[in-house]
Amino acid sequence: MIRKIFKKKKSNNKLSEFINKYKIPREYLSINRKSISKGVLIGLMIGFIPMPLQMAVVLAFTPIVKFNVPIALSMVWLSNPLTMPFMYYMEYQTGNYLLGLEGLNNIELSLDWFSNHWDAILVPLYVGTIPYSLGVSPLIYLLINKLWIISVQREKPSKFKT
């Protein structure tokens, strides 16, 4: 089903001219199982890490790994200003649990509070990032691969149908 959606999209001449003009490798825009799933993996892995310039980090991976760059960039945006507080709080609580810490009480959403408690937040936050970045991202990668394979198998006509 996913493949059908992507295959129905016709290539835009302006997009092709842009790709040819700036010599963008086609692998960065290819729509196949491996490229899409790698893009999701890298995008989510970087998206879970609390840091600035996440999109630049995704682009830094392009010479090392071939993946669908637009998909990876869109996955990074899952950690947007609306979802960041929830994600980072979840990662902070996970880090406290893994480190066996109590955590801070009376959390306030103000810059003064964060600047005063930054030292107590930093280590649990980044320790809590590890299970999500290195655990959840590969699971979703495997899930996308499996769903893609199932989708392709369902689309193929069976040899034994009469």
Write down the pLDDT at residue 7: 59
Report which DSSP code applies to 24: -
Write down the pLDDT at residue 2: 58
Task: Render pLDDT for 100-137 as a digit per residue (tens, 0 to 9).
Answer: 988 877 777 778 888 888 888 899 999 999 999 999 99
Write down the pLDDT at residue 10: 57
Write down the pLDDT at residue 136: 92
Write down the pLDDT at residue 15: 64
Which own/partner pairs from 24-27 qualify as long-range (CB within 8 Å, at least 24 positions apart)?
25/66, 27/66, 27/67
The answer to whether the CB of 128 falls within 8 A of the CB of 91 is yes
Q: How many helices (H) and strands (E) does the chain have?
A: 8, 0
Q: Give 62: exposed, middle or buried? Use CB within 10 Å, 0-12, 13-18, 19+.
A: middle
**Regions of the chain where pLDDT drops below 50:** 162
- Contact residues for 96 (Cβ-Cβ < 8 A; gap 6+): 102, 103, 124, 128
159 residue type, one letter: K
Write down the pLDDT at residue 5: 61
In three-state secondary structure terms, 162 is: coil
Q: What is the pTM (predicted TM-score) of this model?
A: 0.78
